[in-house]
Amino acid sequence: MTNHIALYEPLMPANTGNIARTCAGTNTKLHLIRPLGFNTDDAHMKRAGLDYWDKVDITYHDNLDAFLKSIPDDKYLYLITKFSDKVYSDQDLSDTSVDHYFLFGKETTGLPEDFMRRNPEKCLRIPMSDNIRALNLSNSAALVIYEAVRQQHFAGLELSHHYEHDKLD
């Protein structure tokens, strides 16, 4: 079982870098769907991911269709959008025998409306007030992936950490 975060045409390198760091910390695969709004050598993106880039499994897709074709079973594809009545934390993400895919839209316009309208059963919402259009993309990705790993009992993640001097030889 693997969790996957997919970013549809991300525009801001810092968001992508922060999400890559979250992916490294949760053993989550990252999918970037072109076109990207930045060069992957961008200093802001590299800085946001710090020195964790070698720990991130990244796959690039030429477009949304190519990404969708790469998914073995779209039953476990979730579209994260404000246009849904289903709350992300109410979704059962506990099955560790399958791969879960969380698709996020670009920072300015989200996912294509026609695509979401064709797949309303896959749409999940993060509750928020109407004071803002949307939460920050990297914050949204962190909320959703940590809900998934929480439901999966943090499988494969370190539940406690000790200072060096506390470790037994």
19-50 pLDDT, tens digit per residue, is 999 999 999 999 999 999 988 776 766 665 56
pLDDT of the residue at 19: 95
Give the mean model confidence (pLDDT) for residues 123-131: 96
Binding-site residues from annotation: 80, 105, 126
Q: By C-alpha distance, which of 136, 47, 50 is closest to 144?
A: 136
Number of domains in the chain: 1
Residue range 143-158: average pLDDT?
A: 95
Per residue in 39-94, pLDDT (tens digit) is: 877 676 666 556 788 899 999 999 999 999 999 989 999 999 999 999 999 999 99
Q: What is the mean pLDDT of residues 15-21?
A: 92
Q: Which range (9-23, 131-145, 152-166) has the least confidence?
A: 152-166
Which of the two residues, 51 and 131, has the higher pLDDT score?
131
Q: Specify the pLDDT at position 76.
A: 97
Give the mean pLDDT of 4-22.
94
Positions at the binding site for S-adenosyl-L-methionine: 80, 105, 126
The amino acid that residue 13 corresponds to is: P
pLDDT at 77: 98
Q: In this structure, what CATH number is given to the domain that contains residue 151?
A: 3.40.1280.10
Q: Which domain holds residue 23?
A: 3-166
pLDDT at 41: 73
Mean pLDDT, to the nearest integer, of 98-110?
Answer: 97
User: Angle between the 13-26 and 137-151 helix axes, to the nearest 10 degrees?
Assistant: 10
Supply the pLDDT for residue 120.
97
Interacting residues of 168 by C-beta distance below 8 A, sequence separation 6+:
none
